[in-house]
Amino acid sequence: MTTIPLAPHSLRAALFPRSTLITNSALAAGGVAFLALMAQIALPIPGSPVPVTGQTLGALLIGASYGRALGASTFALYIALGVAGAPVFSQQGHGIAKLVGPTGGYLIGMFLATVALSFLASKKWDKKISTAVLAMLIGQLLIFIPGLIWLQQSTGKDWAWTINAGLTPFIIGEIIKLAIAASTLPMLWRVVDKRRK
């Protein structure tokens, strides 16, 4: 069985040091299922096409823990399945309309965040809470900047409406998600490092 080279530093590499095509396929499938599940944790916001979901937390965790290639390919597979018709987006949404509609920028942003967090994790930013917080903040910015630009362009609304509909209702929830991700990853690394000794 062919062993696949792993990212130099990732939780996935630490937990599965002899990764194979079968292992990576299983992890990708599990990651897609996790993202789809988190997307269904959704709270509609009155007056906004963008719901509060657990999807961003899923993207942050996948990006920081899976390594560069697998993290990006897992989220790309998630988007591809949703566009193809699988009900994996928020509120069981699917189809190309979700990608090109008002919330499509957030999906693109989550992909960018996954790539960036994979890179930052390879530099060991996920091992300490201080750097993990900064990494997750960068991930959040990469989600919301394209998300807001896309929302404004697709709706034609002014920027005041865009900020009120696409950012303000999410601030508290995103702070909580950031705290969860930034504390979970260093904790998991402590467990892994302890088992290695």
| Top-ranked range on mean pLDDT: pick from 7-16, 28-37, 91-100 | 28-37
Per-residue confidence at 115, pLDDT binned at 50, 70, 90? very high
Tell which wins on pLDDT, 8 or 116: 116
Q: What is the mean pLDDT of the chain?
A: 92
CB 108 within 8 A of CB 146: yes
CB 151 within 8 A of CB 100: no
* Structure confidence at residue 84 (pLDDT): 97
Residues 119 and 77: their CA atoms lie apart, in Å, by 19
- Which tokens in the block code for residue 93? 């949404």
- Which tokens in the block code for residue 3? 């062993």
Q: What is the mean pLDDT of residues 157-163?
A: 97
Domains of the chain by range and CATH? 11-191 (1.10.1760.20)
3 state DSSP class of 67: coil
* Structure confidence at residue 18 (pLDDT): 80
Residues 13 and 71: their CA atoms lie apart, in Å, by 12
* Structure confidence at residue 197 (pLDDT): 66
Tell which wins on pLDDT, 125 or 193: 125
- Which tokens in the block code for residue 123? 């530099």
Neighbours of 85 (CB within 10 A): 10
* Structure confidence at residue 1 (pLDDT): 42
- Which tokens in the block code for residue 166? 């696409």
| DSSP structure string for 88-147 | -SGGG--SHHHHHSTTHHHHHHHHHHHHHHHHHHHTTTTSSHHHHHHHHHHHHHHHHHHH
